[in-house]
Amino acid sequence: MPAEHLGRTPLDTLNTFGVHAFAHDLWRVHALSDLPQLVAKLDEHPGPPPFVLGGGSNLLLTGDVGVPVVQVALRGFRVVRDEGDAVIVEGAAGESWDALVSWSIAAGLNGLQNLALIPGTVGAAPIQNIGAYGVELRDCFDSLDAIDLRTGRWRSFDAAECAFAYRHSVFKTSGQTHWLVCAVRFRLSRSAPLQLDYGDLREELARAGRTTPSASDVAEAVRAIRQRKLPDPAVLGNAGSFFKNPVISAQQAATLQSREPGLPCWPASGSAVKVSAGWMIDQCGWKGFREGDAGVHAAHALVLVNHGHAQGRDILALALRIRDSVRARFGVVLEPEPVILGNATL
Ligand SMILES: Cc1cc2nc3c(=O)[nH]c(=O)nc-3n(C[C@H](O)[C@H](O)[C@H](O)COP(=O)(O)OP(=O)(O)OC[C@H]3O[C@@H](n4cnc5c(N)ncnc54)[C@H](O)[C@@H]3O)c2cc1C
């Protein structure tokens, strides 16, 4: 068999919003050797490329998925090369991201600790260049292996070829969504300095009495902050931040700040400025809003939630209203962070 064929399958437990939708045709890949046969099988019914599913934690399903869905269940971590201080490690795409973070720290390696407890899989992590607490995946990325689901061709990508940017990579650009990432490699270090200067990380470490913290202490502090602040998708459906922080010109940011002095801004690449989407949404009065079972988290204006039985299109409709109100008041257009899949998009 080319991979495990599950056919028509409910996706309710395979997306962290917990919305109801079906995959018309679901395949699960357990071994690299399944992939060439699967590509040949999918090629018997040519059409748009299949959708590659990881943990469904950056996904809003607005209807059933008509294209084949390929779920990646490849497993394993390994040390690829030990170069003394630097060590190249590899995680298979279907492994949990947080398990890779824990495994690397247990091996005495620094680099991934600030990214602890981000939900999802290793294979999805480069797709949007995951980031948290002052670190992005690209900071310690080495390379990845992927298969072209149209042709069955294998290819490795280095960091430049991945074209990482803020919550973005080449794999999110149109015409490049046919790659299935199989394995991702990271260049970690036995002694690199830790990144502690972000948000409330230092405060959390001080509270835990960690004056000279290790990578493990940093990961524990990040986990504690995240558990305190972010809703657990197992309890309240969500996909983390629903909108990216918009990146605007320095001139537009200056004009906006003169009108809205409280607007939090951070330097972005070049002279561009990143502005806080959460703050703008909050100012528009959305925090804690609820209509039916679709809502905005009471503590986090950036996190849209499913209180129980919201459909994907209810959450999308709310996202559209939020985007319109922010555009009307601030003249800034919000972009969604999750992938929106089904019969309606933003
Ligand atoms: C509570 C919560 C907190 C979060 N916090 C953060 C955060 O701090 N920082 C952050 O960056 N993100 C955050 N996220 C978003 C999410 O966890 C990440 O984007 C994660 O990398 C998604 O992984 P996944 O396996 O669930 O991907 P999915 O949601 O399954 O897929 C996301 C995208 O990746 C593609 N994809 C998945 N696997 C592969 C593969 N093997 N090959 C090719 N394409 C693939 C899919 O086709 C889709 O386009 C959060 C989400 C939640 C629910």
How do residues 147-204 score in pLDDT, each as one tens digit?
999 999 999 999 999 999 999 999 999 888 899 999 999 999 999 999 999 889 999 9
- CATH number for the domain running over 237-341: 3.90.78.10
Count the Cβ atoms, other than its own, within 10 Å of residue 85: 11
Q: Tokens 């602040």, residue?
A: 229
Name residue 266's beta-bridge partners: 274
Average pLDDT on 303-322 reads: 98
Domain with CATH 3.30.465.10 in the chain: 77-229
Tell me: pLDDT of 345 over 70. Answer: no
Which residue stretches of the chain are H helix?
A: 34-42, 97-106, 159-162, 201-207, 215-229, 250-259, 277-283, 312-330
CA-55 nearest atom, ligand 1: 26
Tell me: pLDDT of 48 over 90. Answer: no
Is 4-72 CATH 3.30.43.10? Answer: yes
Backbone phi and psi for residue 186, each to the nearest 5 degrees, phi listed first: -130, 145
Q: Do β-strands 51-53 and 290-291 pair in parallel, antiparallel, or remain unpaired?
A: unpaired
CB contact set of 258 (below 8 Å; sequence gap of 6+): none
Domain with CATH 3.30.43.10 in the chain: 4-72
Please give the pLDDT value at position 46: 81
Domain with CATH 3.90.78.10 in the chain: 237-341
Please give the pLDDT value at position 346: 64
Fill in the amino acid letter for 282.
D
Nearest CA to ligand 1 atom 43: 180
Catalytic residues: 167, 241, 337
Ligand 1 neighbourhood includes 57 CB (under 6 angstroms): yes
Asked if 287 contacts 301 with a C-beta cutoff of 8 angstroms, the reply is yes
Please give the pLDDT value at position 1: 56
CA-132 nearest atom, ligand 1: 8
Measured at the CA of 29, the angle between CA 26 and CA 32, to 5 degrees, comes to 150
Structure confidence at residue 253 as a pLDDT band (50, 70, 90)? very high
Tell me: pLDDT of 343 over 80. Answer: no
How much of the chain exceeds pLDDT 90, in percent?
92
Which of 118, 223, 235 maximizes ligand 1 atoms within 8 Å of its Cβ, making it the mutation to test the pocket?
118
Q: How far is the CA of 257 from the centre of ligand 1 (A)?
A: 32
- CATH number for the domain running over 77-229: 3.30.465.10
Average pLDDT on 263-285 reads: 94
Nearest CA to ligand 1 atom 28: 56
Please give the pLDDT value at position 7: 95
Q: How far is the CA of 256 from the centre of ligand 1 (A)?
A: 31
Tell me: pLDDT of 44 over 90. Answer: no
Tell me: pLDDT of 2 over 80. Answer: no
Rounded alpha-carbon distances, angstroms, from residue 209 to 18, 141, 196, 200: 38, 31, 14, 14
Asked if 121 contacts 102 with a C-beta cutoff of 8 angstroms, the reply is no
CA-only gyration radius of the chain, Å: 20
pLDDT in tens, 218-242: 999 999 999 999 999 999 999 999 9
Show the tokens assigned to 96: 């949990």
Ligand 1 neighbourhood includes 18 CB (under 6 angstroms): no
Please give the pLDDT value at position 344: 66
